[in-house]
Structure 1
Amino acid sequence: MTKKIQKAAVIGAGVMGSAIAGYLAGYGIPCELLDIPAEGDDRDKISKDAIQRLLKTKPPYLFSPKDIRRIRPGNIEDHLERIKEADWIIEAVVEKLEIKRQLFEKIESLRKEDAIVSSNTSGISLEKMAEGRSESFQKHFLITHFFNPVRYMRLLEIVKGPKTSQEVLERIVEFGKKKLGKGIVFAKDTPNFIANRIGVYGKMLVIHE
């Protein structure tokens, strides 16, 4: 029986990370939203502010303002252990390979054995991100690239690695289609994947003309 995704954790509370958390919350999925600790008394301020911004976006990123009740803010120094409870852990931090690799090393030590880990990167190599990680981690690792704004863009781009298990791939595809209402497109682990390469090509045509 396919294990259900009942709880998620998003690491990175920027525009994309917070929007993904809000989208999941809108479909009834409790979600941790973690970022680096802020300076000052409130170390969770970055993720808290990101959640509040979700309430102000126009057009609205949330299905309902009540959805934020399913998002718990935190920071990666004090609360990273919360990911132990997550069925799906989504990385949405800055697009720098070394930062992502350091984060995945920490995630590997905390994730439960069957938890799926994915990156929202728009172009960094999956193989390079997974380098040095365990066999189990790599079986449960893939790229799930959402597009901005997450609520209104129906596309979900998926990149699997050479060691990504078929069962993990099928879990994410089924969840993306049936639960999240996304159209799935599969891409190879090449620079910028499919959608961004099409976008770049389109811009080049405009410049050329």
Structure 2
Amino acid sequence: MPTNSDADHYETNDDFVEKLKEIGTNVVHFCGALLKRPSIAKKANHTDIVSAAIVMALFALIIAFSYYFVIQYSILASFYMNVSIIDSLVLPFIVFILLQLIMAGITFAGAKLAAQAVTFADVLAKYGAYLVPFAILYVVALVFSLIGLSVLAGLFIFISILGLLMMVPTFILMEQTPEGIDRIYILLGLYALATLVFGVFIRAFAQSMIGNIMGSMLGGF
């Protein structure tokens, strides 16, 4: 016969499953509403932070998978490289999560300099909300790449990354009238920081790729 501890265990599992269903339903509703009307992202606040965080994680995962396939299945990789899944998938995923968090942090700092009434949780939720159409755009770019429309794929990827770095922070900072430092100066500073941060990330990726190529080539001797 089931003991009380078994009953508690089953009840806990049921509660966990129900919670996952609730989160899944919220994320689907969150993304669906934003796909229909992306501008309602301005209404996102700390209560939407779980859905926004999942969007950010999914976007980072999509980018990491695209990087993984480029590394693993490129012509260069077939001759020279034997890159581990940690280097080609897990680390890029973590890196792009950090990149989004850094950009959300920079946006929050800009909002505080403009004396806007927001919390970091609000900014994080808005950041994830505004990312939805750019994440979809990135997925469309991957489809274009698979069917050979490389120019369109490159354009859409550029727009989606530009959205992550600059457009989303701009949308957030434009929501409220600034009471502090003029918004133009804040945006210029934000764009400079975004470019610097992204440059550091790209340089790290390039160095990692070159290191893997050299390691594989030298390992053959």
Interval containing the TM-score (normalised by the shorter chain): under 0.3
Structure ID, larger Rg = 2
TM-score by length of 2: 0.25
Q: Which has the larger strand fraction?
A: 1
User: Relative to total residues, which structure has the larger helix share, 1 or 2?
Assistant: 2
Q: Which has the higher contact order (CA 8 A, sep 6+)?
A: 2
